[in-house]
Structure 1
Amino acid sequence: MVKPNYDNSIMSITNSLLKYYGVKPHHATLPLADELLAKDYKNVVLLLMDGMGVNVLERSLPENAFLRKHIKTELSSVYPCTTTAATTSVLTGRTPAEHGWIGWSCYFKEVDKCIDLFSNLESGTESPASDENQPYKYMPYDNILSVIGDNVKTCAVWPYTEYFADTMEGICEHIKNLCGNDERKFIYAYHAQPDHDIHDFGVDSDCIKQMLLNYNNQLEALVNSLSDTLFLITADHGMKDITMKCVEDYPAINRALIRHICVEPRCCSFYVKEEYKTDFPQLFTNAFGNKFKLFSHKEFLESGLLGNGVPHSKTEDFIGDYVAAAVSDVALWYKDINGGYEDFKSAHAGLTKEELTVPLIVIQKQDIC
C-alpha cells in the first residue's frame, strides 16, 4: 500500500504558482517549481495530461523520447487519485479534504441521491439529479486562474472555456498563439487523454503507445516554436490494469447496502444498513480477502489520505460507514439503470504506486537539446 505525499504533490505546483504570482499559498510549495519560476519567464504553461502517470510514460515511450528526457522528478497525486479530486486540487492548491470534490460519484443527503459531481447527473442514470447543480451549490471554489488574475493574464485551454480544445492539436495551437504575443501570462491546459483510452484498452495497448508517441512529437514541435516559456507538464494520476467486479455478483455485500457504492470503483464508499454494520468487515473480507484495505468511517477520516487542512463540511458526508481502498488489481462498482456497468481494462483511485505516481516534466526553451 502506497500513501499520497502532499508535501511533494501535484497540489504543491499550484501553491508554488500562487506564491510566484503574489498570492499566499495554502500549503507547502514545491522547491523545484519555486526555483524554476524565479527565472521569470514571460509565459508559464501548466499542462495536465489525464492519466499520464510515470508507469504509463515508461511503458509507452523510449528513454530518449522528448517527454521522458525532460522528467525532472516524480510527484504524488492526491487521494483518491482520480480526476475529480486531483484536478480540483491542482486548480485550487487545496487537499481533497478541504475542497470536498473527492470522487466521481458522491451522496448528497440534501436530495437523497448519489450524484456524478462533474455532470450533476444522478449516478447510474442519464437524468439530472436536480434543477440546481448540487456540487457547485454546496462546494463552489475559486480556481487559480481567478485568484491570480489581478497579477497576470490567465488563460485556460480545455473543453469548457473560451480557448476550446479537446485534442492535442487544438491544445498546441492555442498555446502557440497565446505565447506568441508580448503579454506575460499563465496558461492552464488540460487534456482528457490518455486516461479515456487507457480505461478501454489498458496501459500496455499499442494504441496508447502510438498516442503518446504522437503527443511527444507534437509537444516537441510546439516547444521548439516558442521562446521565453516555461512548460510544466504533469498528470492528475496514473493508471493500473485491473479486473472489474460488479457488487450485484456478491449478494452478501449487496444486500447490506442502503444505496449503491459511491466515490470510485477503486475507492468505494459503502453506506451500510444498521443491522449489517457489525458484520460488514467480515462479509467484505470473505468476498475480497486482501484486495482492498477496508477502513471504518472514522479510520478513513483520520488516516490523512485526504490530506490535511480544515475539512469541507461535505467531506464527512461523502464518506460512508466503510471505505475500501484498492491495493491490488480489483475494482468494484454496480450496474447502472439499464443493467450495464463499465468493464474497464484499467483504472485509478487505488493505493498503488502506479496510480499515485506522476511525472513533473519541465521544459525550458534554453534547456532543449
Structure 2
Amino acid sequence: MSLMLPAIPPSSRSITGVAHDLLGALTGSAAELPPVRSAVLAVVDGLGATQLRSHAGHARRLAGAMTKKDVLSSVFPSTTAAALTSLLTGADPGRHGLVGYQVRDPRSGALVNQLSGWEQAGADPAVWQTEPTVFERAIALGRPAFAVGLPEYAHSGFSAATLRGADFRSARSAADRMAMALSLAEEHEGALVYCYLPEADKAGHKHGVASAEWVAALEDVDAAMPAALPAGVGMLVTADHGMVDVPATRHLIIDEDSPLQQGVAAIAGEPRMLHVYLEEAARADDAAAEWRRETEGAADVLTRDEAVRGGLFGAAVTEAAASRVGDLVVPARGLWALYDGAAEDQRAQGMIGQHGSLSPEELRVPLLRFGAFAR
C-alpha cells in the first residue's frame, strides 16, 4: 500500500501558525507581521490557492494581493470542522480533537456531526475541544475579540467549540460582514476581529468550482474586500481548505451487501475521507487489507495506528483525539469519493464540490495581506 502524501514540502507554513502571528502583530512580537493597531482575519471557506489562481479574473482584489509565496498548508482532514478549528486554536486536529466532519463518540457510540450535530449527539463543545482559542488568548492579553458570521451560527455547538471568548456579531451578506469587521477593528483599539465568509464553499458543494454559481459567489466575496483599510489596521485573508469537483463516474458506493460492510459498526467522516469504525478493533489489519483490495486506485487505506504514527493528524495526538479516529482511515485519491450505501442519508451523493483528502487542490490555501500587513 502506497499512501498518497500531500505534495507540499515539510517546511511549508501551516494554517496553524496564523493565530499566533496575528496575536504577535497586536503585541509587536510577530516575526512574520508588522505591529498593527488592530487585526482582522477573514476566512473564505473553501477557497484553495489553486481555485483562486485559476479564477483570478473574477477575483481581482484577492488575486491581485497574491504572490507565489502566499500559500499555506491546511490540515488533514482538509475539512471545515478540522481546519477552522486549527486556524482558530493554532493546534493540529490531533490536539484539538475535531478529526473530521463526522466522527464517533467513543463514550456513547453516537456519530457526531461536528459542524451541526453537537446537540443531537449530546456532545459538550467545552469538553470535546479544550484547546484555548485565539479569542481567549487575545482576551487574556487585554485585547477585545470579535467574531463576525451568519446569524444562524451565533449559538451553534461548533461556534461554542471554536469561537470561545469572542463577542459574536452577525450580518447576512458578505459585504455587510466585512464592513462590520472593519468597523469593529477601527472602533476598538487593539482588537482581534474574525470574519467568516462561507459563500464560495456553499456554492461549490452544490454546483462545483467549475460552475457559474461558484464564480458568482467568488465575485461577491471579492467585491466585499475593501479598497482601503482604516489606518493601522492589518487584515489577513485565508481559507480553511480548497475543493475539487467529483464527477458521478468517480463515485464508489459501498452498498449494504458489499464485503466492505462486513464487521463494520459505522462509517463516518465524509466522502473524500472516511472514518471506518469496526465491531472488533483487533481486526483492523485484516479489514485494512480487504479495503485496500476493494478500493484500489480510488483511495488509500490506513489503520488508526498507521495514520497517527504517520503524522496525518499532526505531530502529537492526544488520547481523546485518537479515540475518535476510525479504526480505518480512508482518504480518497484523485477525484474519487466514497459513499456508505447503507446510510439513511444519501444527500452527500448530490454534492459536486468536495474536500477532505490530501490533494494539493484541497490542502493549499492562500494567505493574503491587506492594509497595515501589506508588503
Q: Which amino acid letter does the alignment assign opposite residue 100 of structure 1?
A: G
Structure 2 residue aligned with 1:354: 361
The residue identity in structure 1 corresponding to 2:144 is: K
Instruction: Give the letter aligned to residue 111 of structure 2.
Output: C
Alignment of 1:316-335 (within 5 A): 316-334=322-340
1:75 to 67, 72, 80: 72
Separation (CA, whole Å) in 2 of partners of 1:303 and 1:166: 41
Alignment RMSD (CA, Å): 2.7
Amino acid at match of 1:284: W
Cα distance in 1 for partners of 2:284, 2:254 equals 17
Secondary structure in structure 1 of the residue aligned to 2:131: coil
Letter in 2 for 1:299: E
> Which 10-residue stretch deviates more, 62-71 or 44-53?
62-71
What does residue range 96-111 of structure 1 map to in structure 2 within 5 Å? Answer: 96-111=93-108
The residue number in structure 1 matching 2:83 is 86
Please name the residue that 1:301 is paired with. Answer: 308
Equivalent position to 1:44, from 17, 24, 39: 39
Match of 1:124 in 2: none
Q: Is 1:232 aligned to residue 236 of structure 2?
A: yes
Return the alpha-carbon distance in structure 2 between the equivalents of residues 356 and 315 of structure 1: 21
Give the Cα separation in 1 of the matches to 2:77 and 2:32: 29
Aligned equivalents of 2:28, 2:253: Cα separation in 1: 46
Unaligned runs of 5+ in 2: 155-166
Report deviation, 1:21: 4.5
Letter in 2 for 1:88: T
Question: Which residue of structure 2 lines up, in the alignment, with residue 207 of structure 1?
Answer: 213
Following superposition, the deviation at residue 158 of structure 1 comes to: 1.6
Q: Deviations for 1:2-33, whole angstroms, at most 9, x for unmatched residues?
A: 43658511111112234445599xxxxxxxx7
Whether the 8 Å contact between 1:53 and 1:239 is mirrored in structure 2 is: yes
Change (3 A) 1:180 1:17: closer
Distance change in 2, residues 1:61/1:20 (3 Å): closer
Cα drift, residue 317 of structure 1: 1.0
Q: Normalising to structure 2: TM-score of the pair?
A: 0.84
Aligned to 2:114: 117
**Does the 8 Å CA contact 2:245/2:354 hold for their aligned counterparts?**
yes
Matched, 1:146 2:151: no
- Runs of 4+ in structure 1 off by over 6 angstroms are none
**How many residues align structurally?**
347
TM (norm. structure 1) is 0.85
Contact residue 48 and residue 235 of structure 1 kept, 8 A: yes
1:229, 1:364 within 8 Å by CA — same for their partners in 2?
Answer: yes
The secondary structure found in structure 2 opposite 1:8 is coil
Counterparts of 2:184 and 2:284, CA distance in 1: 56
Picking from 255, 259, 271, the partner of 2:262 is 255
Cα deviation for residue 217 of structure 1 reads 2.2
| Alpha carbons of structure 1 residues 166 and 246: separation in structure 2 relative to 1, 3 Å | farther
The alpha carbon displacement at 1:299 in A equals 0.7
* 3-state SS of 1:224 partner: coil
Q: Structure 1 unaligned runs (5+)?
A: 25-32, 122-126
1:284-324 CA distance string (max 9 Å, x none) = 23332122111122111100111123x22221112222211
Aligned twin of 1:162: 168
| Secondary structure of 1:333's aligned partner | strand
Q: Secondary structure at the match of 1:246?
A: strand
**Per-residue deviation at 1:96?**
0.8
**Counterpart in the other structure of 1:241:** 245
- Secondary structure of the structure 2 residue equivalent to 1:101: coil
- The residue identity in structure 2 corresponding to 1:129 is A
Task: Tell me which residue corresponds to 1:128.
Answer: 120
- In structure 2, do the counterparts of structure 1 residues 364 and 288 end up closer, same or farther at CA, with 3 Å as the change threshold? same
